[in-house]
Amino acid sequence: MGVGDVKAYNPDCKFPTPNLDRLAADGMRFTDAHSNSSVCTPTRYGIMTGRYCWRTSKKRGVTRGLSPHLINPNRETVASLLKKQGYNTACIGKWHLGMDWSLKDGTITSDKSSQNMVDLKAKIKQGPNEIGFNYFFGIPASANHSPHCFIENGYVQGEIEFLGENETKAAGIQGKPGLVAKGFKQSEILPTFTHRTCEWVTKQVETNPDQPFFVYMPLNSPHSPIVPSAKFKGKSGLSPHGDFCMETDWAVGEVMNTVNRLGITDNTIIIFTADNGSSPQAKFEPMQAQGHYPSFIYRGLKGMTWEGGHRVPFIVRWPVVVKGSTVSEQLICTTDLMATIAEVNGVTLANNVGEDSVSFLPALKGENVSDSGKRGVVHHSDSGVFAMRSGKWKVLLDDVGGSRRSNPKDRPVIDSADIILFDMENDERETKNLSHKYPEVVEAMKKKLADYVNNGRSTPGVPVLNDAGGKSWAELWPLKDYLNEVSLAEMGISTPEKAKLQQKKEQAKLEEKRPTTEEVKAARKAARKARKANASNSK
């Protein structure tokens, strides 16, 4: 959901969002908030753990419906932290962080598992319940991924059948064919999540009024498939995307109304945000022709390191602390939820928890955050390309916004280069590259980002290791001069090659060129070789 899809952010939004506007009027609206990735899974990982997902084996892309669990069950999450503080915890919505389905032979599924081999009666393990949620009801991944079904506390709901592509379409399912629950309707997913959430909150407050609770409600909307329910079809007068955004706004309103009806408004924190910018599936051009811009004034869209890929709406209502109709320009990231929630509860995070999380509680209290310009927020594209913001500066480690989802030639960057630098205070539309003018800023930003990689954290503390595994990290090539030996090995370059890298660096400076395609291929080849060597050594 883009910043331009909420009227409180974009006065020219071509459809109403009264409930989100009411949330902003009752609370604080952050105007420089960013998802920690520009696609679904990595952002959700960051929200749950306070850690960048590229530190795991998932360095690009997203999980699928049968993908195994991504969150290590030994890692602290927002849910497990709050559960230890006595909260009743629930997740109701789109999970999309992997879970361990059993196959009929007793093994665990992988991304490539055959769907007709899944044991649908076996309990699904290492899902939301194992990382801190007392209750889970939802779908395993995006609604366009199979299995197309609801899951409750580890068990598939309904009778499941295996459908081919034509049968899946005939059943009204948009997306991947495969396992489908009889009677499952994608247009009813959002209303079901909404009603279930309101019912759970009502039951919790009425039966245990003194127990604090936490609900994580990750919506399937307005992600594709764009399937507004019958009540909202055509309601925006703009497009199905507009209809689905309006239904999303309705869902938020239902939760707000439930909280208000139960008389717990003043000391209940409601946070609304998005996991990335608006998707190309929203079909931008027809909407833009009618004056609606889902990314508002920003360049790019979902999947990209341009602002439109990761600058998101972020609204917080907490009447006893947050003044209504306030605006914060503080730079924040979705990973910051962990540290903020911990501080709200008086919890000090361990060194290996929330390594990329900074509390924004002072901002909620209206306090001046004097050193906020010192932190760097890392942006990450669907294909694993890095960018970073620090203060007014933003550096992108390529010239296409980290993705091929849109053509940069449509809106060429002035003085574009292999690595791009923007002054976000004076050029938030990302129109003019300044890397030629401020090479020292580029190098300082690259070093800071490399330090974040090397140290396993972007916050103060004792360095920790990034997770092992996954594909080689060729995307780190622009940072190679500042990476330590461990990071170089992750990139696929062994220590003995360090001297050769230095020679290449000096040669590249003389020739004033970036690494060639052959060099990048060589780095990837070295990565494969290093992985094989590591595998042999571990035997």
| Domains of the chain from N-terminus onward | 3-374 (3.40.720.10), 463-539 (no CATH)
Output the CA angle 156-157-161, nearest 5 degrees. Answer: 80
DSSP character string of 361-399: HHHHTT---TTGGG-EEEEE-TT--EEEEETTEEEESSS
Residue 50, SS3 per DSSP: coil
- Which among 329, 364, 327 has a CA at the least distance from the CA of 343? 364
Which residues in the chain land under pLDDT 50? 496, 499, 501-502, 505-506, 509-515, 538
With beta carbons less than 8 A apart as the criterion, state whether 420 and 399 touch.
Answer: yes
- Which among 213, 185, 349, 204 has a CA at the least distance from the CA of 270? 213
Residue 393 pairs in a beta bridge with: 390, 423
Quote the CA–CA distance of 289 and 502 in Å, as a whole number: 51
With beta carbons less than 8 A apart as the criterion, state whether 478 and 377 touch.
Answer: no
Q: For residue range 350-379, what is the model confidence (pLDDT) as tens digits?
A: 999 999 999 999 999 999 876 666 899 999
Quote the CA–CA distance of 172 and 187 in Å, as a whole number: 10
Residue 152 pairs in a beta bridge with: 137, 155
User: DSSP assignment, residue 128?
Assistant: G
pLDDT of residue 537: 53
Question: Tokens for 346?
Answer: 């008086």
Provide the 10 A C-beta neighbour count for residue 230.
9
Residue 92 pairs in a beta bridge with: 137
Residue ranges of alpha helices (H) inside 7-119 are 18-26, 40-49, 78-84
Residue 396 pairs in a beta bridge with: 387, 420
Residue 161, SS3 per DSSP: strand
Residue 178 pairs in a beta bridge with: 163
Quote the CA–CA distance of 31 and 33 in Å, as a whole number: 6
Q: For residue range 225-240, what is the model confidence (pLDDT) as tens digits?
A: 999 999 999 999 999 9
Question: Tokens for 3?
Answer: 């910043």
* Residue 134 backbone class (left: φ over 0; alpha: ψ -120 to 50; beta: rest): alpha
Residue 152's identity, in one-letter code, is E
